[in-house]
Amino acid sequence: MSVEWFTRSTNGLATIYETNITLNTVASNHFKNSFGALIGYDKNSSDLLIKSISKEEVTMGIYNEDEIHKISVKPSYGRISGKQIIHHLCQLFPLDFSNNAFHKFECEWSVEDKTLKVKLLKEVK
């Protein structure tokens, strides 16, 4: 018998809708203990960056409270809601929601930066 067993996916995926960013379980697990997240865009690599922020960092005043976004982590997904976030992203990176209700992208976790890098140039069909 020649059997090849399949492992669970270890690929992080981010799905961007007009109103939110939804992370699959692999991607959202990095935010289980986060108080919030910073969201940014790297113009050089065209990556959407989602940085995990701890409660201690907020208490120390390292980040402006207006920059911190709420991230909800459930057992099977994570979500950052905010139509304004998506609108701002679309001004920097063209996403067209007229034909597609969502866009799905590969992402990777940077341990040293505590940042999820959503690879906007690597859309998953």
Lowest pLDDT segment from 5-14, 22-31, 50-59, 113-122: 5-14
**Is pLDDT above 90 for 17?**
yes
Length of the chain: 125
pLDDT at 8: 67
pTM of the predicted model as reported, rounded to 2 decimal places = 0.90
**Is pLDDT above 90 for 71?**
yes
* Mean pLDDT within 82-98: 96
**Is pLDDT above 80 for 10?**
no
pLDDT over 90 percentage in the chain: 86
pLDDT at 104: 98
* Mean pLDDT within 12-25: 97
Q: Average pLDDT over the chain, rounded to whole?
A: 94
* pLDDT grade for 9, boundaries at 50, 70 and 90: low
Using a CB cutoff of 8 Å and minimum separation of 24, what contacts does 81-89 make?
81/19, 81/20, 82/19, 82/20, 83/18, 83/19, 85/21, 85/39, 86/16, 86/17, 86/18, 86/19, 86/20, 86/21, 89/16, 89/41, 89/48
Here the tokens at position 31 are: 């935010």
Contact 13, 29 (CB under 8 A): no
* Mean pLDDT within 88-109: 96
